[in-house]
Structure 1
Amino acid sequence: MKNLNLLIFLISFSSLFAQPNCEAYKYYGDTLKYDACKKAMEIKGHYQFSKEYQTVLDESLEIDPTFDYAYWAKSIAYLKSGDFVTWKKLIDKAVEYNPKEHLGYRGWCRYQFFRDYKGAIEDIEKLDSLVDYDIGQSQNGTYHLSIAKGLCYKAVGKKEKAIEIIENQLVINENEDFVGAYDYLHLGVLYLETERFEKAIEIFKKQSEMNEIAENQYYSALAYSSLDKLTEYKSSLKRAKELYIEGRKMSDPYSNPMDKIYLEDIETEDKNG
């Protein structure tokens, strides 16, 4: 399994963004942000949903209403509690004052939680236009943001564009030996959906080598079925069920990933296949 798989689901919403270096603000002469930052650091030890946590950040923003970190930190509890209206107001402020730091996060959340695919594309592409370095990973570490963007294009019906984006990013990921846990799977499903069955099987085999999961064998079965390879179809479907029962399947603690399947899907295909 590639290096990136070690990150999956280990990165929490509260820890992915490093705390700001308050001394850096002082070094560059921004004493207002330095004071706001020092105040914000007093959240340490307070539960995100507590009044104390929010009060500290409110006091930080009273010192400097443009301190983006405080808006971002305040927003986390609202996202987790399902108050998406308040979350959006706060994260929009963070993006306004520091777009390079927060556009990727907002774009990923738009994709993951709200299925706002167009909004996610806008944020990720805007970030890409602002920086001359790698735009980085999704908030949970599962995808490079370019892969996430490709999935968004798939969701809005632009599958060829999605394929191009994911193929290009996978070349980079492979060169860096840092392929995401589901990258090959998603590309294989796109090939399957665009009737490139041989290419789908080829890429599903890569997924098997890196991170074998029930979804991979399920979609492999569909590709084999389309090519009238019934022996391989039955074998893949059987393996998909075994993997699913073993718990080796796509998962996310906050939402259902794209291309995820359920045991019912496997059993229905087996019954009707």
Structure 2
Amino acid sequence: MSLLKFILVLFPALVFCQPNCSVYKDSLCEKACKIAVNAEQYQGHKYSQMDFDKAIKLCPNFDYAYREKSVPYLKRGDFITWKKIIDKAVEINPNDNLGYRGWCKYQFLRDYRGALTDLEALEKINKYNIGYSQNGDYHLKIVIALCYKSLGNRKKAISLIKTQLSIKDYTPQNYDFLHLGVLYLETGDVKEAIKSLKKELTIDDYLAETYYYLALAYKKENNLSLFKENLFKAQDFYKKGYVMKDNYTHPLDKIYLPQIENLLK
């Protein structure tokens, strides 16, 4: 495995680090921190939830305990309970929790307006770098763009993604150019779509989606040879499992095998 791939595998775990309990001068909060950090290791078990409650009782403004306590409810689909708990974490510490709540609204709830509210509020607090999604797949600026796309404002989405990609020290993530290419395709700019999708291949050549959307672009140009070539490539990659993946939800612009097979017919 290359160093880059190794970093990408580890990256999701680096988005939210466990707190350093030694920084708490209040002995009760330091104790609460240690309890919560230990409880996070068996998150989802009832005893873990009980320990988060102990931590919160010892240190009522310890936002980490609220956030981690909320996670099992999110994963089980109890979004009402999740929101009640995560809202408390955001209230205590918006800088560290708005991005997470906004991402979850986007990823799990498809609440694009709610996600925008959180992420744009975070932009006002942190003007330099609002961070990455919890799963490590996206910079949150790209998530903002995808929210605008999902709400029908594709031109703004394109502008936001291009702005993020133009930042000198920004490293494009695996799906950035894929989403940009699809946006261009949806707005009728086929040449820019092909340009962006080819750029995606230089970053990540392991997605059936990229070849599928390239095929659609070439079809619009009446280039049937490249249309078929890319579609067969998409089919081959899909059967090998080279596709957009998420452990919990359906990623935006993800495709499925019947879409490819219907075009091949």
Bin for the TM-score computed over the shorter chain: over 0.9
Cα gap change, 1:216 to 1:41, in 2 (>3 Å): closer
Cα gap change, 1:250 to 1:135, in 2 (>3 Å): same
Residue 5 (structure 1) shift: 8.2
- 3-state SS of 1:11 partner: helix
Q: Give structure 2 stretches of 5+ with no counterpart.
A: none
Letter in 1 for 2:148: Y
Q: What is aligned with 2:248?
A: 254
Provide the rounded CA distance (Å) in 1 between the counterparts of 2:201 and 2:134.
25
Residue 65 (structure 1) shift: 1.9
CA contact (8 A) 1:2 1:178 kept: no
Q: What is aligned with 1:166?
A: 161
Q: What is aligned with 1:11?
A: 12
Cα gap change, 1:98 to 1:177, in 2 (>3 Å): closer
Does 1:230 pair with 2:230? no
Residue 17 (structure 1) shift: 1.9
Please tell me the root mean square deviation across aligned C-alpha atoms, in Å. 2.1
Does 1:209 pair with 2:208? no
Cα gap change, 1:40 to 1:154, in 2 (>3 Å): same
CA contact (8 A) 2:15 2:133 kept: no
Q: Alpha-carbon deviations, 1:72-110, whole Å to 9, x = none?
A: 111111112222111111100000000000000000000
Does 1:189 pair with 2:182? yes
- 3-state SS of 1:65 partner: coil
Q: What is aligned with 1:96?
A: 91
CA contact (8 A) 1:5 1:180 kept: no
Residue 25 (structure 1) shift: 2.2
- 3-state SS of 2:109 partner: coil
User: Which deviates further from its counterpart, 78-87 or 134-143?
Assistant: 78-87
- Of 109, 115, 118, which residue of structure 2 is paired with 1:114? 109
- Of 254, 262, 266, which residue of structure 1 is paired with 2:260? 266
Letter in 2 for 1:238: F
Provide the rounded CA distance (Å) in 2 between the counterparts of 1:249 and 1:40.
36
Provide the rounded CA distance (Å) in 1 between the counterparts of 2:123 and 2:170.
22
Cα gap change, 1:218 to 1:44, in 2 (>3 Å): closer
Residue 24 (structure 1) shift: 1.6
Q: Alpha-carbon deviations, 1:28-48, whole Å to 9, x = none?
A: xx4553343244344265x21
- Of 56, 59, 63, which residue of structure 2 is paired with 1:64? 59
CA contact (8 A) 2:194 2:217 kept: yes
Asked which structure has the greater RCO (Cα within 8 Å, sep 6+), the reply is 1
User: Which deviates further from its counterpart, 17-26 or 137-146?
Assistant: 17-26
Does 1:144 pair with 2:145? no
Cα gap change, 1:143 to 1:41, in 2 (>3 Å): closer
Letter in 2 for 1:176: D
Scaled by the length of structure 1, the TM-score of the pair is 0.90
Provide the rounded CA distance (Å) in 2 between the counterparts of 1:96 and 1:145.
20
